[in-house]
Amino acid sequence: MKWLRRLLAVLLAIVVLATVALYVADPVVATRMLSMPFGGAMGPVVPVPGRAGPGLPLAGPDARTIDGAALEAAVAYGAETGSHALLVWQGDALQLEHYYPGFGAGTRTPTQSMHKSVVALLYGAAIRDGFIGSVDDAVGKYLPEWRDDPRGQVTLRQLLQQASGIGYPRTNYLNPAGDFLQIMMGGNLEQKLLAQPAEQPPDTQFDYHNVNVGLLGIVLERAVGRPYAEYLSSALWQPIGADDATVTLDSDVHRTPRTYCCLDATARSWLRLGLLHLNDGASDGVQVLPREWMAEVVTPSRHNPGYGYLTWLGTRYQRERRYNHKSPVAAFQSEPFAAPDVRFFDGFGGQRVYVVPSHRLVIVRTGALAMDWDDARLPNLIIAGLRPAPAGR
């Protein structure tokens, strides 16, 4: 047994030395990395106040428009993938509101990159309110640091369509001082984002990454002249009647919002955002965002017809949907969508809001990271289970 104790001692020493090395390289990133398995955040969080909105009617068993077997299969798939919540809206009512053990209507789940699609909606509000002139404005108009730099000629549209040509770091969890972890968890996000070089001419290639959306967040906050979370609350969150949420900042010193992730919200709040898409920017009869903007958000982009403004489109089938040319990560889809007009918010590990206007359908799934998530599974299950409308309707 002596050899076993020695081996354990050596392994423990390696872990301790590695931890010390991480801390020396960057104590902020190291602390956040080590705390995340225990519920730690990637920075301080600030509130996004919501407002009690109109009720979301729940269809009774006799009024459901989706076959019970299809809903049961959807709940089972949610259980298999470690889901926290599964909501299905069809027509004019919730057909399913299911929370898995340990979670409930008040649970705010980290939903990764679904925040990106919210940024696209918020830009519609900022243009309507006159803070931003047009998506064809050059980013240098809002970032004086880039005004005399070729990067300043990148347009907001190119950022929204993830075709800016701005560089982004490769995934690397081993170097706390490297740009990848500094952008993900570091304490001075703005500095790192503005330091990213131009890697290719703008509007030449689709590359989905966090730098584009981080830059959009900086532009928005500067243009509006208010903290991002405050504007998100007043321009979007409260008008749609969403629950209180939180946004993560880089630090208490710099207070730059992580707009590419880190909007923790309830499943019902995500449903209300899906309904905003379903109703062309209206909520409870009030036009919250211009109809024209909602149409722009889901217009296929030049370099990826499956992507609009920070929003994914089911316009073409890809069994493996790659995000960018530097990363091997791909989203899996076992078969084509059963409807041609699917649009969706995509958060890493199966965080999803699917919207299908042709079937008046919204599906929300939040939960644990499901690395084998199948994008076709829930939408196709539910669409196959739709009951025919009664005669005369």
Task: State pLDDT tens for residues 322-343.
Answer: 999 999 999 999 999 999 999 9
Please count the structural domains in the chain.
2
Q: Is the pLDDT of residue 222 over 50?
A: yes
Evaluate whether residue 392 is within a structural domain.
no
Mean pLDDT of the 249-262 span: 97
Verify that 308 and 364 share a domain, yes or no: yes
- pLDDT tens track for 57-113: 999 888 999 999 999 999 999 999 999 999 999 999 999 999 999 999 999 999 999
Say yes or no: 22 and 141 in one domain.
no
| Residue 197 falls inside a structural domain | yes
Please indicate, yes or no, if residue 150 is contained in any of the structural domains: yes
Closest by CA position to 213, among listed 148, 122, 336: 122
Point out which residues pair with 366 in neighbouring strands: 85
Residue 207 has pLDDT above 50, yes or no: yes
Whether residue 393 lies inside any domain: the answer is no
DSSP secondary structure letter of residue 315: S
Structural domain includes residue 390: no
Q: Is the domain of 170 the same as that of 262?
A: yes
- Per the prediction, the chain carries an average pLDDT of 92
pLDDT at 299 over 70: yes
The reply to whether 29 and 156 lie within a common domain is no
- Please report which residue ranges of the chain form alpha helices under DSSP H: 2-25, 27-35, 68-80, 114-128, 156-160, 179-185, 189-194, 210-224, 228-232, 267-278, 291-297, 377-384
Report the predicted TM-score, pTM, of the whole model to 2 decimal places: 0.93
**Among residues 276, 375, 286, 393, which one has the least CA distance to residue 331?**
375
The identity of residue 234, as a single letter, is S
Whole-number Cα distances in Å, 325 to 169, 195, 314: 12, 21, 20
Domain presence at residue 259 = yes
Query: Under 8 Å CB-to-CB from 28, ≥6 apart: which residues?
Result: 185, 186, 187, 251
pLDDT of residue 210: 98
Do 365 and 296 have their domain in common?
yes
Q: Give a yes or no: residue 170 inside a domain.
A: yes
Q: Report d(CA 203, CA 301) in Å as an integer.
A: 10
Token pair for 379: 């939408």
Same domain membership, residue 80 and residue 50: yes
**pLDDT tens digit string along 232-242?**
999 999 999 99
Shared domain check, 86 and 16: no
pLDDT-based confidence at residue 39 (cuts at 50, 70, 90):
confident
In terms of pLDDT, which residue wins out, 147 or 28? 147
In angstroms, the Cα distances linking 57 to 54, 65, 94, 178, 356 are 9, 13, 6, 49, 19
Q: Does a structural domain hold residue 168?
A: yes
pLDDT at 23: 56
Q: How high is the pLDDT of residue 15? A: 47
pLDDT at 41: 80
Cα gap 231→209, rounded to integer Å = 24
Q: What is the mean pLDDT of residues 23-49?
A: 79
Q: Which domain holds residue 262?
A: 45-384
Q: Residue 48: name the closest of 368, 262, 219, 367 by CA.
A: 262
